[in-house]
């Protein structure tokens, strides 16, 4: 079964749960990347010549996918209601 068939076989409640999980993961990844940038700025003492990093969509979504996978695995091992 590929991912398209799997998503179509889920109920609306399960799809909303997975969407909420991914939204939470995006929030966590944004906060993580922002804190890493702030940590870098502090370590460089806000130097004029430091490299200025920014949160890009690719890094945000890649880290969000990683977070959602981890959260899903943890919740799946704890609870039996996971889709």
Q: Are 59 and 33 in contact (CB under 8 A)?
A: yes
The model's pLDDT over 20-44, given as tens digits with 9 standing for 90+, comes to 999 999 999 999 999 999 999 999 8
44, 8 contact by CB (below 8 A): no
* Residue-averaged pLDDT of the chain: 90
Does residue 81 carry a pLDDT above 80?
no
3-class DSSP string for the chain: CCHHHHHHHCCHHHHHHHHHHHHHHHHHHHHHHHHHHHHHHHHCCCCCCCCCCCCCHHHHHHHHHHHHHHHHHHHHHHCCCCC
pLDDT at 52 exceeding the cut of 90: no
Q: What is the pTM of this model?
A: 0.82
Which one has a higher pLDDT value, 5 or 67? Answer: 67
| 10 close to 83: Cβ distance less than 8 angstroms | yes
Domain ranges (residues) in the chain: 3-78
């Amino acid at each position: 079964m590929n991912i398209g068939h799997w998503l179509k076989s889920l109920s609306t409640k399960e799809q909303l749960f997975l969407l909420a999980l991914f939204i939470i993961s995006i929030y966590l990844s944004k906060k993580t990347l922002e804190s890493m940038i702030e940590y870098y700025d502090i370590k460089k003492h806000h130097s004029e010549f430091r490299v200025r990093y920014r949160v890009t969509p690719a890094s945000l979504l890649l880290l969000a996918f990683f977070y959602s996978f981890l959260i899903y695995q943890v919740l799946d091992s704890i609870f039996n209601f996971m889709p």
